Structure 1
């Protein structure tokens, strides 16, 4: 999860809770360190291994600083949640053979399509 928030009224916060409830192994990055449903929100970029999905909750302008990092994780896919759609990043992901979709993580989870 990229763009995780400690604020319970944020979709990224709710998504962490749903991922945990759905038993999806979850790591999170955000601007403020803390914990949501047992998931620590990291504020430093960590070289994670075996990341399947990166789900974005950052607007396109804020994503730019993380393009290289996200690509370096070599995820199987990147989910662009509503408001995060970014054609520039889509092209970078295509060039690196990383699948992506503009979708809502919460909807994907609730319809068993995650």
Structure 2
């Protein structure tokens, strides 16, 4: 993918994230005293990011899929998903992730 396409994709995702954040924040309902999977798993994902070894990498990938596959309960969790999806900015996001974000933005 060339640089212009990459910039365009990132711009489109940022627009979708902003729209989705407003929708998700307005409609998020989380039971009092409970944490969503994203908020609970994100710190562990961050810690594993610095580790090494096959077992560590397998757990890292498992957490990545669980985090990006969950429904965010607010703008902060959507931002956490974006960080996880892009390996903290080291990678591009997948088309499937953008499709999910776009779907969230169009709901409601």
On whether the aligned pair clears a TM of 0.5, the verdict is: no
What interval of TM-score do these two structures reach, taking the shorter chain for normalisation?
under 0.3
Say which structure, 1 or 2, has more relative contact order (CA 8 Å, 6+ apart): 2
Name the structure with the higher helix share. 2
TM-score by length of 2: 0.28
TM-score by length of 1: 0.27
Which structure has the larger Rg over C-alpha atoms? 2
Name the structure with the higher strand share. 1
